[in-house]
Amino acid sequence: MYRGRRSLSEHKRIVVPFLKWAGGKRWLTTRYAHLFPKKYKLYIEPFLGSAAAFFHLQPTAAVLSDANADLINAYQQVQSNWKKVHRALVRHQHNHSHKYYYEERNRKHRTAHEIAAQLIYLNRTCWNALYRVNLRGQFNVPIGTKTAVVLDTDDFEYTSLLLQRVNLLASDFEPVIDGTQENDFIFVDPPYVTRHNFNGFLKYNDEIFSWKDQERLAQTIRVAAGRGVKILLTNADHSSVRRLYRDIGKTITLRRHSVLAADSGNRCATTEVAITVNYEAEDADA
């Protein structure tokens, strides 16, 4: 497990994630930042997505992983090759149109930085920033309404510096969590597999992350908790999830506004759960 340290030459500053991801946790870092522990050794995030928690905390050493190898490649290329990624995004911005989107969606790039830029381009211009592939592994989300490819919030140079501290892994969550040690901190935000609060939104379907995977995750967390690892887990506020984690840590109800449901009538107040293990979260008013 990576435990190196590299310091930045400038003060910590706000970083907006360069990807948007269904179920992303920017709302969590904004409204519930007090739930994250203040002290830990190594930061681990095994379901990376947009990495909102990582960019909020900016830890001095981290392991970031996801089962989506294309997603990890995007982070690796921003980490080591951000200038080429940015130039490719400028080209996509210049060429963007309805016709170009579908041509690019079907195009097969060979170089890693072009593959990364393609993922970022599609993420920024597809419908609802959704990542979905068909049975052949082909991205198949239709074009959305957004046309901006190069954003005012982009700060790839500083993002690259932050990622120098990181070991990026394309991996299932289990070996990553199994490699943690006492006083490490894991932020666990798994794909949700239950419809909850009638919000009309499922993060992933059962074929991608099944209930058996949820049970396997819960058992892996139990073992890590026994080693003294600090854990913050978020999940659907559903009776099946509460039962699965009833003997692990402290459960907290999180209130938020859902904006991702396809039906606007289902975009309403909803709740999720957070579970803290091996540490006491600070009071929100402290």
For the stretch 172-229, pLDDT in tens is: 999 999 999 999 999 999 988 765 544 443 444 445 788 899 999 999 999 999 999 9
* Structure tokens given for 162: 């932050």
Q: What is the mean pLDDT of residues 4-15?
A: 66
Q: Which runs of consecutive H residues, i.e. helices, occur in 164-209?
A: 173-178
Looking at the chain, the domain(s) classified CATH 1.10.1020.10 span 69-165
CB-side neighbour CA atoms (13 Å) of 283:
2
Token pair for 201: 């939104």
Distance CA 274, CA 34 (A): 12
Where are the alpha helices (H) located in the chain, listed in sequence order? Answer: 26-31, 52-57, 69-95, 98-106, 112-125, 156-163, 173-178, 211-226, 239-244
The per-residue pLDDT for range 34-65, each reduced to its tens digit, is 999 999 999 999 999 999 999 999 999 999 99
d(CA 88, CA 121): 9
Q: What is the pLDDT of residue 206?
A: 47
Spatial neighbors of 10 by CB under 8 A, at least 6 apart, are none
pLDDT of 261: 47
Per-residue pLDDT band for 137 (boundaries 50, 70, 90) equals confident
User: 69-165 in CATH: which number?
Assistant: 1.10.1020.10
At the topology level of CATH, where does 26-67+171-277 sit?
Rossmann fold (3.40.50)
Mean of all residue pLDDT scores within the chain: 89
User: 182-196 pLDDT, tens per residue?
Assistant: 999 999 999 887 655
Task: Kindly tell me the sign of the dihedral angle through the C-alpha atoms of 34, 40, 46, 51.
Answer: positive
Distances from the Cα of 215 to the Cα of 50, 193, 203, angstroms: 24, 12, 17
59: Cα separation from own chain's centroid: 15
End-to-end CA, the chain: 34
What pLDDT score was predicted for residue 200? 40
Tokens found for residue 172: 């299932």
The residue type at 162: L
Every domain of the chain with CATH number 3.40.50.150 lies at 26-67+171-277
Instruction: Say whether pLDDT at 134 is over 70.
Output: yes
